[in-house]
Structure 1
Amino acid sequence: MKNILIASFDMEVGGVERSLISMLENFDYKNYVVDLMLYKHQGDFLELVSDKVNLLGEVPQYATFRKSIGEILKDKQYSIGLSRVFSKINAGILGKVKKFEEPGYYQMQLMWKCALPFLPEVNIQYDVAISYLWPHYFVAEKVSAKKKIAWIHTDFSTVETDIQLDLKMWRKFDYIVAVSEACKTSFLNKYGELKNKVIVIENITSPEFIREMANRKVDNPMIKDNRFKILTVARLSHAKGIDNAVKALKVLKEKGYHDIAWYVVGYGGDESMIKGLIKESKLDDSFILLGKKTNPYPFIKEADIYIQPSRYEGKAVTVGEAQILSKPVMITKYTTAKSQVKDGFDGYITELSIEGIVSGVEKLYNNFDMRQKLINNCSNTNYSNSFELNKLYKII
C-alpha cells in the first residue's frame, strides 16, 4: 500500500474544504494509507473528515498561518511573527506601487517565504504528497516524497502574485491539478513553462450526500418567506462579488421588484462593509446575511434561483451543488464561467456587472418556462463524478 500525505490549512466552511471532504469520502483506502496534515485543527467541517483518514497532530509553527500577528507573538513564535510583520509591510508598499487590487495573495507568498527557515520538516518519507491549497510551500520545501502534486482552485489570471517566486515553488512538483479546463488555461497563461505538469481533475461531488443533507432540518427563515427567493453561498470577499449583489438588488427594488429577497450563506472579511452597504441601500429586510452554515443545502433547497455573482472563480463548488438540487442557476461571466455551466441548458451566464446581474435576475424572474427548463435539465443530468479520482490514482 502506498503512503499518501494530503496537506491543507484547516476545515473552516468553504468550497475548497467541501471539495476536500468529498475527495476524502470517496478515496480508495484499500490501496492507499492517507495522512491528513491540517496546519490548524479548526473549522466546522473537521467533524466531517472521513474516519479512514489519519489526522496528524497539529504543529505549533504551522498553526501560526491561521493566527493573527498578536496571537503569534503571544505564543512566543517571535521569528515567525516578525516575518509576518515584514511580509505585511512589504506587500502593502508594493501593492500601492503596482496598484494591486488585492495584495493579499502577494502577502501570503512573502509570508511563507520569510517563515520557511523557522518551519520544521516532516520526518516521514511518503510515496506521494499532495498540497491541496495554495501557496504550496509546505509540501514543496518541508516534505520528502517520491512524487509531489499541487492543487489549484482559483483563476490565476485575476490574482496578483510574484511569478518568479511562484515558479520556484511550482517546479518542485511533478504534477499540478487544476479543477477545470478554464482554470488550467488561465494558470498556463501566467505560468506557461509548466504546461507539461498540469492536468485537470474536477472537484468530486456526491449527489447522494448533498440530497441527504438538504433534507435535514435546520433553523431556516427562508421556509416561511413567500417572496421570490434568491440564494448565494459564498465567502464575503471581493472575489465573490456580494457587494455587486447588494447594489443589483437595490436597482431591482427601484424598478418595482418588491417581492424579491436575496439570502447569502457565508462569512468573511468584507462582512462589515457589506452590512453597511445593505443599511445604506435600505435593504435590511430583503438582503439577508445568514452567516456561516455547516450545512448550506437546506437553504439551497428553499431557493427559487441560485446566483453566483463572483468576479472570479476556479470552479465554484456551490454552483454544482445547486445544480444537483435542481435549482435554476445564474452565474456572472467570470473567466472560467463556461466550464461551470452549459449556458441556457443547466444554467444561465450573465454579464459580470451590476447591470448584468439585474438583467439576469429580471430574465429568470419573468420567465417561468426558462426556469423550468433549467430545473428539468439539471434533474436529468448525472453530476456524480467520483470517477475523476481515477485520474489521480493514475498519476500516483
Structure 2
Amino acid sequence: MKKLLIASFDMEVGGVERSLISMLDNFDYTNYKVDLMLYRHQGDLLHLLPKKPNLLPEISPYSTFRKSIGETIKDKQIGIGLSRVLSKVHAALSKKIKRIDEPGYFQMQLMWKYALPLLPTIDTSYDIAISYLWPHYFIAEKVNAKRKIAWIHTDYSNIETDIEMDLKMWNRFDHIIAVSEACRDSFLRKYKELETKTSVIENITSQEFIRKMGEKKIQNPMQDDDRFKILTVARLSHAKGIDNAIQALKILKEKGINDIVWYVVGYGGDEDILKELIAKNNLKEDFILLGKQTNPYPFINACDLYVQPSRYEGKAVTVTEAKILGKPILITNYSTAASQIENRVDGVICDLGAAGLAKGIEEILCNQELKNTLMNNVKNKDYSNSYELEKLYKIISLL
C-alpha cells in the first residue's frame, strides 16, 4: 500500500476546497494510505472532510499563512511575522518599480521564500506527496517523498509571479496536474519547459452531493424575492470581476431594466471596496452581498441566472455546480472559458467587462427560447466524474 501526503491551506469556503473534499470522498483507500496536511485546521467546510484520510495535527508555524501579521507575532512566531513584513514591503516596491497591477501572487511567493528557513521539515517519509494549492513550497522543500505532484487551479497567464523563482519550485516536482486543458495551456505559455510533465485531471464532482445540499432548508432571502435573480458565487477579489458585475447592473438599470437583482455569495479582501461601489451607484437594494455561506447550493437553486463575471479562471467549480442544478449560465470570455461552456448550448460566453456582462444578461432575460435551451441542455446530463481519479492513479504508477 502506497503512502500519500496531500497538502492544502485550510477548509474555508471556496471552489478549490470543495473540489478537494470531492476528491477525498472518492479516493481509493484500499490501495493508498492517505495523510492530509492542512496548514490551519479552520474553515466552515472542515466538518465535511471524509474520515478515511488521516488529518495530521496542525503545526503552528504553518498555520501562520492564513493569519494576519499581528496574529502571527502574537502567536510568538516573530521571525515568520517579520518575514511577512519584508515580503509586503518588497512586493509594494516591486508594484511601483515594475508597475505590477496585482502583486498579491508575487507577495505570496516572497512570503514563502523568506519564511522557508524558519519552517520545520516533516519527519515522515512518503511514496507520493501532493501539493493541492499554489504556492507549493511546503511539499517542494519540507517533505521527504519519493515522488512529488503539484496541482494547478488558476490561469497562470493572468497572474504576476517571479518566473525564475517559480521554476526552481516547479522543478522539484515530478508531475504537474492542471484542472482543464485550457488551464494547462495557459500554464505552458508561461512555463513551456515543463510541458512533458504536465497533464489534466478535471475537478472531481459529486452530482448527488450537490443536488442533496441544494435541497437543504436554510435562511435564504432570494426565495422571497420576486425579481429576476442573478447569482454569483465567488471570492470578493479583483480576479472574480465583482466590480464589473456592479457596473453591469448599473448599465441595465439605466436602460430601464428594473425588475432585476444580483446576489453574490462569498467573502474576501475587496468587500469594503465593493460596498463603496454599490453605494456610489445607488444599488444597495439591487446588488446584495450575502457574505460567506457554507452551503451555496440552495442559493444557486433559487436563482434565475448564474453569472461568472471573472477576469480569469483556471476552471470555476461553481459553473459546473450551476449546470448540475439545471441553471442557465453566463460567463465572461476569460482565456479558459471555452473549456467550461459550449457557447449558446449549455451557457453563454459574453465579452469581458461590464458592457459585455450587461449585453449577455439582457439577451438571456429577453430571449426565453435561449434560456429554455440552456436549461434543457444541462437538465439530464451526468456531470459526475470520479473516473478522473484513475488518471491520478496511472500517473502515480508510472512515476
**TM-score class, shorter:** over 0.9
Structure 1 window deviating more from structure 2 (306-315 vs 24-33): it is 24-33
- Which aligned runs of 4 or more in structure 1 are off by greater than 2 angstroms? none
Partner of residue 290, structure 1 = 290
Query: For residues 134 and 198 of structure 1, what CA distance do their matches in structure 2 show?
Result: 15
Counterpart-to-counterpart distance in 1, 2:71 and 2:289: 29
CA-CA distance at 1:78 after TM superposition: 1.5
Residue of structure 1 equivalent to 2:214: 214
Is 1:375 the counterpart of 2:397? The answer is no
Structure 2 residue 77 is matched with structure 1 residue 58:
no
1:7 aligned counterpart, secondary structure: strand
Across the aligned residues of Structure 1 and Structure 2, the Cα RMSD in angstroms comes to 0.6
Letter in 2 for 1:201: I
2:223 corresponds in structure 1 to 223
Give the counterpart letter for 2:171 in structure 1: R
Q: Could you tell me how far 1:196 is from its partner in structure 2?
A: 0.7
| Equivalent position amino acid for 1:147 in 2 | R
Deviation, structure 1 residue 69: 1.1
1:250-307 deviation line (CA, Å, top 9, x unaligned)? 1101101110010000000000111111111111111111110010000000110100
Residue in 1 that maps onto 2:69: 69
Give the letter for the 1:389 counterpart.
L
Read off the aligned partner of 1:315 and give its amino acid letter: K
**Counterpart code for 1:337:** A
1:80 and 2:102 correspond = no
CA displacement, residues 205-253 of structure 1 (integer Å, 9 cap, x when unaligned): 0110000000010001111111100000000000000010001101101
Give CA deviations for 1:5-37 in whole Å, capped at 9, x if unaligned: 000000000011111011011111111111110
Aligned residue identity for 1:17: E
2:138 is aligned with 1:123 = no
**Amino acid in the other structure paired with 1:114:** Y
Query: 1: CA distance between counterparts of 2:80 and 2:225?
Result: 49
Q: CA deviation at 1:96?
A: 1.3
> In the TM superposition, what is the alpha-carbon distance from 1:341 to its structure 2 partner?
0.8
Structure 1 counterpart of 2:12: 12
- Secondary structure of 1:148's counterpart equals strand
- For residue 204 of structure 1, what is the aligned residue in structure 2? 204
Deviation at 1:99, TM superposition (A): 1.0
Residue type of the partner of 1:248?
Answer: A
| 1:352 corresponds to 2:352 | yes
Match of 1:108 in 2: 108
Paired AA for residue 150 in structure 2: A
TM superposition shift of 1:328: 0.3
The answer for the alignment partner of 1:322 in structure 2 is 322
SS, match of residue 123 in structure 2: coil
Q: Which residue of 2 aligns with 1:36?
A: 36
Percent identical pairs in the alignment equals: 66
Distance 1:334 1:269 in 2: 22
Q: Residue 22 of structure 2 aligns with which residue?
A: 22
The aligned counterpart of 1:236 is 236
1:222 alignment partner, SS class: helix
Report the Cα distance in structure 1 between the residues aligned to 2:117 and 2:95, rounded to whole angstroms: 25
Tell me what 1:178 maps to.
Answer: 178
Deviation at residue 380 of structure 1 after TM alignment: 2.7
Counterpart code for 1:386: S
Give the number of aligned pairs. Answer: 396
- Provide the C-alpha distance between the structure 1 equivalents of 2:381 and 2:101, rounded to a whole number of angstroms: 38
The CA distance in 2 between the partners of 1:208 and 1:124, in whole Å, is 36
SS at match of 2:261: strand
Q: Following superposition of structure 1 onto structure 2, how do residues 249-260 of structure 1 map, counting pairs within 5 Å?
A: 249-260=249-260
TM-score of the superposed pair, with normalisation by structure 2: 0.98
Structure 2 gaps of 5+ residues are: none
Q: Which moved more, 1:72-81 or 1:178-187?
A: 72-81
Distance 2:2 2:390 in 1: 15
Query: What secondary structure is seen at the aligned counterpart in 2 of 1:44?
Result: coil
The structural deviation recorded for 1:326 is 0.7
Q: Which amino acid aligns with 2:72?
A: I
Partner of 2:306: 306
User: Aligned partners of 2:264, 2:108: CA distance in 1, in Å?
Assistant: 27
| Displacement after TM superposition at 1:135 (Å) | 0.4
Classify the secondary structure of the residue corresponding to 2:232. Answer: strand
Unpaired segments ≥5 residues, structure 1 = none
How far apart in 1 are the matches of 2:75 and 2:296? 35
- 2:91 is aligned to 91
The structural deviation recorded for 1:68 is 1.1
Give the match's secondary structure for 2:33. Answer: strand
